[in-house]
């Protein structure tokens, strides 16, 4: 079963939601966030990226920064910009991006289930990023950014969500990037119980995005458990803020690669080397049409690469991923990129930016070759997580991104 908990959120007061709601902390640089919030004193970026309220060059991991984030959150509450829900609630959060629509349940997800593997992972985490989110939670005493969870779609939950979203929403607005955000408050006790009971039949949930936030929540729970001799397991710190979507509504986009050089090879030698593992032909189509295909932009033209049979183990849920095939057969052996997490010769470009961004980067002269990927599927993500394995870095790019500041989950009653 999956346990979800309602909670008394802080959320924007009427008239403030469009000014408060912000992109998530990890999709903007400090400079981009500073520019975006410059004329907006109530932007939630001042809570999730509080270094923007401090001198340029401030260490974003300094203790003063976390204290500033906490002060900014308290200011929004004291000024009435954020208001507290009167009773525990779930929230339904719908996003519309063009023709794509997805609706998730906003709830407290169980740290116990994260630790015992019923909330499944597919990525490794980095200690420095875990530390950052842990310090942020401790300073603000709140979950300020949601973890993006998914589950195999369930008709009973679908029916409940459809019925509950026929009511008038609390918020309905279009953000500057054109994405529509709609939020419903579900605080009727019978409806709350119905949603919680429906999720009780879900055997497992999966982290789509937010591995560091999940790990940080577990670390906060561990510390508070040790400090609380009366610990029961029901305290707010035993849960973390999540938006939970059915898998069949999610949209995973390509996560593309650009590389600075050909590792000492000229273009002809490079093309010859990669033919041992790939069929290579010029093409007018930038994007791959099928799994195991790749678009490659080199010297002003596009090529289609097809992985040759036998160049990857088809029975391995990780190594048969397109991102692993490219890494194992081209990026590492030909271009010498052994660890894409740390190698500065490679960068990653979310598919939302389009293939023109790949062409632009190569044309700039700073990058030599670009690779357009076929998107990883949600079933591939499930297969990796179910096997207890992890994906290569930068395997998935989910769109649309969850807005921060719509719902804040405090760690007190």
Question: Which tens digit of pLDDT belongs to each residue from 241-279?
Answer: 999 999 999 999 999 999 999 999 999 999 999 999 999
Quick one: tokens of 42?
């109530």
Q: Report the distance separating Cα 44 and Cα 69, nearest Å.
A: 10
β-partners of residue 296 are: 303, 371
Contact in structure between 280 and 303 (CB atoms under 8 Å) = yes
**Cβ contact 384:377 at 8 Å:** no
Residue with tokens 């791959």: 288
Phi, psi angle pair for 384, to nearest 5°: -65, -50
Q: Which residues pair with 100 in a beta bridge?
A: 97
Distance CA 11, CA 350 (A): 30
Residues 24 and 45: their CA atoms lie apart, in Å, by 8
- For residues 20 and 218, give the distance between their C-alpha atoms in angstroms, rounded to a whole number: 27
What DSSP state is assigned to residue 310?
Answer: T
Kindly report, residue by residue over 317-357, the tens digit of the pLDDT: 999 999 999 999 999 999 999 999 889 999 999 888 889 99
Second CATH level (architecture) for the domain 255-374: 2-Layer Sandwich (3.30)
**Alpha-carbon distance values, 8 to 88, 97, 187, 221, 408 (Å):** 5, 28, 9, 19, 9
Q: How would you class 78 by CB atoms within 10 Å of its CB: exposed for 0-12, middle for 13-18, buried for 19 or more?
A: exposed
Rounded Cα distance, 131 and 129, in Å: 5
Least Cα distance to 186 among 241, 245, 106 occurs for: 106
Instruction: Using alpha carbons, select from 24, 18, 6 the residue that is nearest to residue 42.
Output: 18
Residue 393 backbone phi and psi in degrees, to 5: -60, 150
- Residues with Cβ within 8 Å of 224's Cβ and at least 6 positions away in sequence, in order, are 231, 235, 237
Q: What is the pTM of this model?
A: 0.92
Q: Which residue has the tokens 């980067």?
A: 361
Q: Per-residue pLDDT for the chain (413 aa), expressed as one digit of tens each?
A: 899 999 999 999 999 999 999 999 888 889 999 999 999 999 999 999 999 999 998 999 999 999 999 999 999 999 999 999 999 999 999 999 999 999 999 999 999 999 999 999 998 888 999 999 999 999 999 999 999 999 999 999 999 999 999 999 999 999 999 999 999 999 999 999 999 999 999 999 999 999 999 999 999 999 999 999 999 999 999 999 999 999 999 999 999 999 999 999 999 999 999 999 999 999 999 999 999 999 999 999 999 999 999 999 999 999 999 999 999 999 999 999 999 988 999 999 988 888 999 999 999 999 999 999 999 999 999 999 999 999 998 899 999 999 999 999 999 97
- The domain locations on the chain are 4-251+399-410, 255-374
HSE (side-chain half, CA atoms, 13 Å) at 382: 14
């Amino acid at each position: 079963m999956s346990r979800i908990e309602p909670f008394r959120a802080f959320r924007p007061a009427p008239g403030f939601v469009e000014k408060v709601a912000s992109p998530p902390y990890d999709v903007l640089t400090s400079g981009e966030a500073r520019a975006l919030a410059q004329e907006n004193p109530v932007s939630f970026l001042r809570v999730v990226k509080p270094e923007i309220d401090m001198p340029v060059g401030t260490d974003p991991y300094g203790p003063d920064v976390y204290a500033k984030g906490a002060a900014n959150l308290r200011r929004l509450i004291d000024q009435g910009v954020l208001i507290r829900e009167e009773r525990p609630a779930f929230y339904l959060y719908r996003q519309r991006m063009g023709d794509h629509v997805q609706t998730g349940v906003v709830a407290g997800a169980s740290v116990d289930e994260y630790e015992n593997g019923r909330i499944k992972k597919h990525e490794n985490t980095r200690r420095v990023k875990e530390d950052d989110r842990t310090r942020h939670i401790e300073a603000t005493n709140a979950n300020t950014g949601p973890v993006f969870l998914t589950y195999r779609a369930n008709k009973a939950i679908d029916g409940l969500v459809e019925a509950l979203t026929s009511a008038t929403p609390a918020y309905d607005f279009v953000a500057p990037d054109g994405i529509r955000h709609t939020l419903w408050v579900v605080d009727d006790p019978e409806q709350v119980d119905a949603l919680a009971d429906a999720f009780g039949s879900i055997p497992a949930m999966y982290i789509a995005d937010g591995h560091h936030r999940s790990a940080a929540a577990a670390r906060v729970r561990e510390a508070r458990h040790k400090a609380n001799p009366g610990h029961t397991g029901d305290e707010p710190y035993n849960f973390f803020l999540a938006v939970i979507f059915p898998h069949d509504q999610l949209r995973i986009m390509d996560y593309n690669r650009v590389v600075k050089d050909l590792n000492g090879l000229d273009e002809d030698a490079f093309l010859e080397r990669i033919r041992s593992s790939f069929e290579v032909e010029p093409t007018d189509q930038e994007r791959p049409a099928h799994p195991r295909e790749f678009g490659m932009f080199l010297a002003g033209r596009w090529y289609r690469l097809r992985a040759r049979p036998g160049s990857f183990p088809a029975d391995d849920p990780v190594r048969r991923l397109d991102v692993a095939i490219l890494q194992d057969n081209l990026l590492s052996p030909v271009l010498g990129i052994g660890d894409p997490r740390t190698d500065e010769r490679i960068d990653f470009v979310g598919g939302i930016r389009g293939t023109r961004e790949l062409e632009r980067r190569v044309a700039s002269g700073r990058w030599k070759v670009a690779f357009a990927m076929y998107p990883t599927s949600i079933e591939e993500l499930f297969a990796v997580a179910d096997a207890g394995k992890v994906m290569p870095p930068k395997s998935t790019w989910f769109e649309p991104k969850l807005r921060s500041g719509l719902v804040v989950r405090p760690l007190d009653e």
